[in-house]
Amino acid sequence: MDDAYTPPQDPLVVLHDDAEMLVVDKPSGLLSVPGKGADLADCLIARVQAVWPQALLVHRLDRDTSGVMVFGLTPHAQRFLSKQFELRAAKKTYVARVWGRLTPKTGRVDLPLIVDWENRPRQHVNHETGKAAITDWRVLRDSARESRVRLMPKTGRSHQLRVHMLALGHPILGDPFYATGEALAFERLMLHSEELRIKHPDSGKMMRFRQSAPF
């Protein structure tokens, strides 16, 4: 994390709100939870708790990733929702713009990941000590310069989508950790959590929350 943390001051965008759960659209550039130090205190959960003091963390998105994020509003809801992420029952869909023409049009990345200790918080592929990480992709449209892709992670490792796209030779545009050269010259990380499907903690009904990518 650099010293120039200047989170956006966008108002909260609420996608769903009931007695058990809250779903919001996290802006790019805002931490999900506070970092170390007063300068990193501004974050999504703090803003949410200013309105819903009972809100509890279920999962996180990277600072530079935007999109759908769910919070539990009761301890039961937090446990119920968190369990779905742990069991890989929550279905997550992302949209990204990546460097170059990604071929074939669909595929799967199955590469184990672990933190790169000398370059934290970066992650890297490691077949000896890495944890299983799987990402499916589908190209939505492409050109010689870039591809717009839909990414469906089957696991939830830190920086998974970013490292998997890099491993394919197609880093996500604007990625401050993994992109270089022209691929880095964008105003933000071009990665957005577009859709989350998860069972409601009260009814057990499968819910679908969606927010289109702002890029």
Q: In which region does residue 67 sit, left (phi positive, over 0), alpha (psi from -120 to 50) or beta (all else)?
A: left
Helix H, strand E, coil C: the string for 98-142 is EECCCCCCEEEEECCEEECHHHCCCEEECCCCCECCEEEEEEEEE
Among candidate residues 17, 42, 62, 110, the one labeled active-site is 62
CB neighbour class for 40 (10 Å; exposed up to 12, middle 13-18, buried from 19): middle
68 contacts 81 by C-beta, under 8 angstroms: no
* 62 counts as catalytic: yes
3-state secondary structure of 40: helix
> In this structure, which amino acid lies at residue 74?
T
| DSSP class of 172 | B
What residues act catalytically? 62
